[in-house]
A = this chain, B = another copy of it.
C-alpha cells in the first residue's frame, strides 16, 4: 500500500511569490524518490493531496532544504493556518478512468 499527505490550508491575502512557490514545490516534489502523484484544488480553503510510496519518502520530502524554506515562508507570509495529515491508504476504488 501507499501513503497520502493531506495538506489543508487557508491563505492570507498576500499573493506575492505564492504561485511561483506552489509551482516550484510541486515540480520539486515530483522529483523526490518515492513520489507517486499530487492533486490540488482551492476555493475558500485549499486541499493538496500528495501520494508517496512510503513514510521515508514523506520524511525526506518534509526535510528537503528548499521545501523547508517554503514551509518557513509559508508560516510568515502565505498561510493563515494549515493542517497536515499523513495517512496510509487502505482501500480504493474508482469510476470512469
Name A residues whose Cβ lies closer than 8 Å to a Cβ of B: 3-4, 6, 8, 10, 39-47, 49, 55, 75, 79-97
Task: Report the copy number of this chain in the oligomer.
Answer: 2
CA A83 to CA B5, docked complex, whole Å: 16
CA A93 to CA B93, docked complex, whole Å: 28
CA A33 to CA B39, docked complex, whole Å: 29
Identify 28 residue pairs between A and B in the complex whose beta-carbon atoms are under 8 Å apart, listed by A's number.
A3-B90, A4-B87, A8-B39, A8-B49, A39-B45, A39-B47, A40-B43, A41-B42, A41-B43, A41-B46, A47-B47, A49-B49, A75-B96, A79-B96, A81-B94, A81-B96, A82-B94, A82-B96, A83-B93, A83-B95, A83-B97, A84-B94, A85-B91, A85-B92, A86-B92, A87-B88, A87-B89, A88-B90
